[in-house]
Structure formats: structure tokens, C-alpha cells
Amino acid sequence: MTSSRIRKTVLDVLRGLAPETADAEIEPETPFIEQFDLDSMDFLRLMEGLERALGIAIRDLDYPRLSTLRGCEEYLSMKVAAA
């Protein structure tokens, strides 16, 4: 899976949780929680949505690595390649 496909998947899942992100300029290095005022349950739903969309498992301990768009792209690229 390409990096652009992973980015699209992350953004699609994020937009499903926070519709206000649809027109937002997403900063790749800024945590989603800060950019979109997500709470911890929203972030958990994001992780679950990514697992479903990509058919992978994300360990709880790895969640901090996925707090930004860039982090998601890097981590998920690695996970998808290993699956």
C-alpha cells in the first residue's frame, strides 16, 4: 500500500469522527487531539477505525506514535508492509 493511500485512509477515518476536518488544512506534525479538539475516546475510535480499514492490529503501547498524520503514515506503512 502506498503512502498516499495510507494518508487517504487516515484522513477518511478521521473525517468520519470529526467532520470539521473535511475542509481543514491538516498539519502533519501537530497532534490530532490539538488540531481537532479530539478527546481520548475519539482517539481510541480513530485507532479502531484504522485497524478495521487496514486489516491490522495496533498495540495500545504504539498509540502515541500515531498521534499525528506523519506518525500515522510512518507507523502504518511499516505495519501494512509487514502484514
Q: Which pLDDT value is given to residue 53?
A: 96
Closest CA relative to residue 30, chosen from 72, 64, 69: 69
Identity at 47, one-letter amino acid code: M
Distances (CA, A) of 67 to 2, 4, 5, 8, 51: 20, 18, 18, 16, 15
Tens digit of each residue's pLDDT (9 = 90 or more) over 8-65 = 999 999 999 888 877 678 899 999 999 988 899 999 999 999 999 999 999 999 999 9
Joined together, the cell numbers standing for residue 60 give: 495500545
Identity at 6, one-letter amino acid code: I
CATH architecture of 3-82: Orthogonal Bundle (1.10)
Q: Which pLDDT value is given to residue 36?
A: 87
